[in-house]
Amino acid sequence: MLKLTADAGPGDIAPAESFVYRMKDDLVTDITRVTLENPSGGAPPAEAPWHTDALKVVQVGEKVWLAGDRSAGDLGRYAAAAERELRLLEELWGERLTYPGHVLFFTRDAANYRQWFGLGAADTFDPDIPGVQVPLQGVGKNGRLYQGEYAASRIVVNLRNHQGTDPASTIRHELAHAVTARATMTGLGELGPPTWAIEGFARYTETIGRPARAAQVRAGLAAGVRAGRFRGAPPSNKDFYGRDAAFNYDLGSSVFSLAERLKGREAAVELYARVIERPSTGASFFESPIFDRMAEDVLGLSASAFRDRWAASVRNGG
C-alpha cells in the first residue's frame, strides 16, 4: 500500500496494488507485479509509472504534483497551467467531495503512454488520445478492497499529442475527471455512471471562459447532427467510445451547456453531481424515474420537458 498526501479514503484505505510473492524455506525469492497482461485472480494491478521509470517530480503549490519521464524534460513548463486549471475546477466543484491533491504524469514516449496504468490493454485505447484520468480502487490494511469510493485519481498527459501546443485544455479536461472522481460511484460498464455525463461534463468545462473552444464544440455537434449521428438520446456506455466518440463528447457536453442556459452554471454542476451517483441505464437514462426527480429538483422541469428542449437544442447546433 502506498498512500500519497494527494489521496483520500476513510481510515486506512489507500490505492490498491497487487504483487505475487514466491517463497522458499520461509524466504521471499521473487516478487512479481500484477498487471493487466499478467493478472492474478482479478487483483488490482500495480502499473503506476514509478514501477518502471525514473521520474522527475515537481510540486506546484500545495495540491499538485507533476511527474515526468526522460521524454518530458520541460515539466516545469506545465506547472502554471496545472495550478490555474485546478483552481478553476475547485471553484466550480465547490464544497463537494474531492481529493486533497492531484498527481499528473507527463510523457512523450509512446511505449510509456501505452504501459502506464495498463492503458494499452484497454479495448478503447487510442495512442492519439491527449490524456487519460485513472481512478484507483482502495484497499485496507486487512487486504480487503474498498467499494465505497475511489481512493485516488491519477492523470496521464500524452505530450506527443501536443507537439508545439499548450496542453492546458487537456489538463483541464482530465482534472475535471479527477476533481469529481471521489464523488463518482464505482462500477464498470452499464453498472458504472453514464459515460456521456463523465466525458460530457469534462468537455463542458473546456468551454468555460473560452469562447473559441465553445464554438469548436458547437461546430462538432452541428457536424454530427448533419451526418445523422444524433439519435435523440445520449449513447450507452458500451457505445460511447465507438466510431462516433468525438461527437459523443460534444453531445454529452450539450446536456450541461443547456442546463447552464436554463438555470445557471451551479445548476449544471449540480445536475452532473447527481447523475454520477447513479448507474447508467443505457441510452434511456433520460427516461428513468430517477432522472425525472433530478430534472425537477435541479432544473424545475420534468425529464420529458428537459429531453425535448435538449433534443431541439442539439438539432439547432447546441
Of 167, 183, 199, the residue that ends a domain is 183
Q: Indicate if 255 and 114 belong to the same structural domain.
A: no
Q: Are 318 and 254 a contacting pair, CB within 8 Å?
A: yes
3-state class of 27 per DSSP? strand
Q: Indicate if 107 and 214 belong to the same structural domain.
A: no
Q: What is the pLDDT of residues 204-241, one digit of tens each?
A: 999 999 999 999 999 999 999 999 999 999 999 999 99
Q: Indicate if 125 and 202 belong to the same structural domain.
A: no
Residue 219, C-beta contacts closer than 8 angstroms, at least 6 positions apart: none
Of 157, 183, 209, the residue that ends a domain is 183
Q: Indicate if 207 and 297 belong to the same structural domain.
A: yes
Q: Indicate if 225 and 308 belong to the same structural domain.
A: yes
Lowest-pLDDT range of 229-233, 269-273, 285-289: 285-289
What is the rounded distance in angstroms from the CA atom of residue 294 to the CA atom of residue 274? Answer: 7
State the cell numbers at 287.
427516461
What is the rounded distance in angstroms from the CA atom of residue 192 to the CA atom of residue 280? Answer: 6
Rounded to an integer, what is the distance from CA 137 to the centroid of its chain? 14
Q: Indicate if 166 and 205 belong to the same structural domain.
A: no
Q: Indicate if 244 and 139 belong to the same structural domain.
A: no
Distance between the two ends of the chain, CA-based, in angstroms?
46
Domain count, the chain: 2
- Domain of 141 in residue numbering reads as 1-183
User: For the chain, what's the residue count?
Assistant: 318
CATH number of the domain encompassing residue 213:
1.10.390
Q: Indicate if 177 and 308 belong to the same structural domain.
A: no
317 compared with 202, residue with greater pLDDT: 202
- Indicate if the alpha-carbon torsion angle 114, 118, 276, 177 is positive or negative: negative
Q: Indicate if 7 and 149 belong to the same structural domain.
A: yes
Angle between helices 195-206 and 168-181 (to 10 degrees): 130
Lowest-pLDDT range of 94-98, 185-189, 261-265: 185-189
Q: Residue 283: pLDDT band by 50, 70, 90 thresholds?
A: low
